[in-house]
Amino acid sequence: MAYTAKDYGSLIGMDGFSDALLNNHFTLYQGYVTNTNKLLETLAAMARDGRGGTPEYSELKRRMGFEFNGMRCHEYYFENLGGKEALDRSGVLAQKLAEDFSSYDDWEKDFRATAAMRGIGWTILYLDTLAGTLVNQWINEHETGHLAGCAPILVLDVFEHAFMLDYGLKRPDYIAAFFNNVNWKAAEARLKERHPSQSASA
Applying CB under 5 A, which residues contact Fe ion? Answer: 157, 159, 162
Nearest distance from C-beta of residue 110 to Fe ion, angstroms: 22
Nearest distance from C-beta of residue 103 to Fe ion, angstroms: 30
- Residues, the chain, total? 202
CA nearest to 193, candidates 98, 92, 102: 92
Closest to Fe ion by CB, 51 vs 161, is 161
| Phi, psi of 96, deg, nearest 5 | -70, -40
Closest to Fe ion by CB, 8 vs 111, is 8
Nearest distance from C-beta of residue 130 to Fe ion, angstroms: 29
Nearest distance from C-beta of residue 147 to Fe ion, angstroms: 20
Nearest residue relative to Fe ion (C-beta): 157
Nearest distance from C-beta of residue 159 to Fe ion, angstroms: 5
How far CA 135 is from CA of 59, 114, 117, 127, in Å, comes to 31, 11, 16, 6
Closest to Fe ion by CB, 162 vs 187, is 162
**Secondary structure string (H, E, C) spanning 118-131:** CCCEEEEEEEECCC
Closest to Fe ion by CB, 128 vs 143, is 143
**DSSP state for residue 50 in the 8-state scheme:** T
Closest to Fe ion by CB, 22 vs 92, is 22
Bridge partners of residue 197, in order along the sequence: none
| Phi, psi of 94, deg, nearest 5 | -60, -40
